[in-house]
Structure 1
């Protein structure tokens, strides 16, 4: 069952007020395109570093998360995909907020 979904991306703003607006809009979009509970796919890109990889993976400790990695052609960057069964949109947002604290990580 392939459903076509329209994903649009925005940069997460620096100020806390705008951050609240961003996450409120993101939650609305999640509710429009995703039914929970369900498997959710998180995708991040980071400068290749075992430390950064472990920081990201550490946020998912104690879960049944499945990880997939792919290095860029020059191995300067790594993408990580994390598949996790998620109960609701707020849980998705909480994971994104935690990953946003890790320096150098780009959220897709």
Structure 2
């Protein structure tokens, strides 16, 4: 049986998919934005996830250096591909998807 947290995540992704389908013509350029605790492993995991997709990736450290913003511009085939990428990256400890 799914936990409440899993149900909330599933409902969130279902809503996001509907919104993406209504607002976007696919395939389309999509901007992913993440904030991760600053350490090389976290940043590389995000970057490696978009390897070979032709993504343009920009990273910016916070003023204190504790966090890094990662922006990824990449061509996505459809809304499900966007959702799958968010789910894949949600396993990174401390990641915040914007």
Shared topology, TM-score over 0.5?
Answer: yes
Q: Which of 6, 10, 14 is the matching residue for 1:24?
A: 14
Instruction: Report the number of matched residues.
Output: 96
Structure of greater relative contact order (alpha carbons < 8 Å, 6+ residues apart):
2
Change (3 A) 1:72 1:62: same
Cα drift, residue 63 of structure 1: 1.2
Cα drift, residue 47 of structure 1: 1.0
> Structure 1: how far apart are the matches of 2:31 and 2:43?
17
Partner SS for 1:41 = strand
Greater share of residues in helix: 2
Look up the match of 2:51: 61
Deviates more, 1:48-57 or 1:30-39: 30-39
Q: Indicate yes or no: 2:28 matched with 1:38.
A: yes
Q: Indicate yes or no: 2:81 matched with 1:80.
A: no
**Normalising by structure 2, what TM-score?**
0.90
**Normalising by structure 1, what TM-score?**
0.82
Q: Which of 14, 23, 39 is the matching residue for 1:49?
A: 39
Partner SS for 1:67 = strand
